[in-house]
Structures are given as structure tokens and as C-alpha cells.
Amino acid sequence: MTSVWPLLLYYLLPLVGLWTYRRGGRTGTLAAGISWFLAAVALGVVIGDARSFAVISFYLLSLVAVMTAFLVVTGTNPVYGALSLIGTFTGIAGVFVVLQCEFFGIVQVILYAGAILVLYLFVVMMVDLPKENAQKRGGVRGIAAIATGLGLLALVVKALAPLGMRLQPAAGASAEPYSVRAVGTALFGPYLVPFEVASLLLLVALVGAIVLSGRERES
């Protein structure tokens, strides 16, 4: 039970956002988020999870990922939101690299940060969304969000409790089980059918999108 703090923190975030928005706007939110997370990291270090370089970089990269994810949720400007999301993806990619899954890390950047997000951005800029109204936050919805978050946290804790709640990377991860060759062999070997089904699903979505946009053009 010693290391559930990141999850706890995660579900307390809406609360922090709500509170600081009334006081200092974006800067205040940012400062609060950073100090909360630093406190959490310090707590983690004290508890004794940080033993090596890898673990320290894991926490630093998580800091980047969580902070930017926080900004995505609390920001009012969609373009800044997209920029923050790049930070999140890059941070997660870094975590993958720390866990010696370089391939996944790089693919994360290429696919999410490089391609999918550019598409989002394209849409966001074309549509020229107005700034989201900050006043809408909080109230009954905020309380409901916190309650849901705590409920989910309870579920996660219950599910994770038998595993011992360790935050260290698994001991066996240091060999090279996640090489490109291994991924390829897995995809085209034991997981061939799920892989093909997923591709089919994407194809159906693609055809669907084209059919829908075509219909609009005719009318």
C-alpha cells in the first residue's frame, strides 16, 4: 500500500484545478500542479522507490507526462491543449525507453505525436474553436467527478492489492524481450488473428468515414 500515491494524486487533480482556477488562473494551476507533483515525488523518494538512475528518470518523465496531461485537461485554449498533449506523449515515450522498450517509445512519438495529433491540430485550427468558458467547471459536476474518481481508485486498489503494489519495473524487463523482431514475431505468430481483426476494424472505420463524407457532399 505504500506506493498508491500517484493514483491518489491523479484523482485529486480535478480538485486542485477547481480550487486554483478561482484564485490564479493558468499560472496558479500550473504552480499548484507542479508543487503537488514534486511533493508526491519527494514522498516517493522518501518511501524508497528511487534507487537508481532509471527510477529517477522514470519519475522525471512521469512528471512531464502528468503535468502536461494536467494542462490538457485544465487549459481553456484547444491549441495549447494540443501542445500539452505532445508533452504527454513525449513523456510516455520516454517512460517506454526507460523500461527498455525503445521501439514502443519511438512508435508512440511517430504515431501519436507525429501523425494523429497533427490531424487533431488541423481540425482544431480549421474550425477555429472559441476559448472554452472557464466558469463551467466545478459545481455538482466537479463533486461528481471526484466521487467517480475515488470510486475508480477504490476499484484499482482492490484489483492491484494482491500484486503487492510495487512501482519498480519488473525484474525480467532488462533483457531484450521487446525488440522489433520479437514484436513482429508476436504480431504475425500467436496474435495473428487479433491483429488482422483489428486491421479489419480500422478498414471498416476508414470506409465508413469516406462513405459518410461522400454522402454529405452529394446533398
Partner 1 sequence: MDLLGFVIAIVKALIVLVLMLSTIPILVWSERKLSAWMQDRVGPNRVGPAGLLQPLADVVKFLFKEEVMPQGAEKWLFVAAPVLTLVPALLAFAAIPIGDPIHLFGREVTLQLANVNVGILFVFAVGSLGAYGIVFGAWASNNKFSLLGGLRAAAQLVSYEVSLGLSIVGVLMLTGSLRLGDVVDAQAGTFFGFVPRWNLFAQPIGFLIFTVAAFAETNRAPFDLAEAEQELVAGYHTEYSSMKFALFFMAEYAHMITVSALLTCLFLGGWKVPGLEHIGLGPFLFGVVQTLAFAMKAGFVLFFFQWVRWTLPRFRYDQLMTLGWKVFFPLGVANVMLTGVLLLGSR
**Residue closer to partner 1 (CB basis): 152 or 180:** 180
Q: Of 1-9, 115-123, 135-143, 150-158, which segment contacts partner 1 by CB under 8 A?
A: 115-123
Query: Which of 79, 147 has the CB closer to partner 1?
Result: 79
Q: At closest approach, how far in Å is the CB of 117 from partner 1?
A: 8
Q: Rule CB under 8 A: is residue 188 a binding residue for partner 1?
A: no
Binding of residue 187 to partner 1 (CB under 8 A) = no
Identified binder of partner 1 from the candidate list 15, 45, 99, 107, rule CB under 8 A? 107
CA angle centred on 132, ends 84 and 136, rounded to 5°: 115
Of the candidate residues 119, 170, 175, 193, the single one contacting partner 1 (CB under 8 A): 119
**What's the min distance (Å) between Cβ of 107 and partner 1?**
7
For the window 162-181, what string marks contact with partner 1 as x by the rule CB under 8 A? -----------------xx-
DSSP per-residue string spanning the chain: -TT-HHHHHHHHHHHHHHHHHHHTHHHHHHHHHHHHHHHHHHHHHHHT---SHHHHHHHHHHHHHHHHHHHHHH-S-HHHHHHHHHHHHHHHHHHHHHTT-HHHHHHHIIIIIIIIHHHHHHHHHHHTPPPPPGGGSSHHHHHHHHHHHHHHHHHHHHHHGGGT---SPPGGGGSSTT-HHHHHHHHHTTTHHHHHHHHHHHHHHHHHHHHHHHHHHH-
Q: Which is nearer to partner 1, 114 or 138 (CB)?
A: 114
Answer yes or no whether residue 110 interacts with partner 1 by CB under 8 A: yes
Choice from 79, 147, 200, 204 touching partner 1 (CB under 8 A): 79
Choose one: 29-37, 118-126, 137-145, 204-212; the region binding partner 1 (CB under 8 A): 118-126
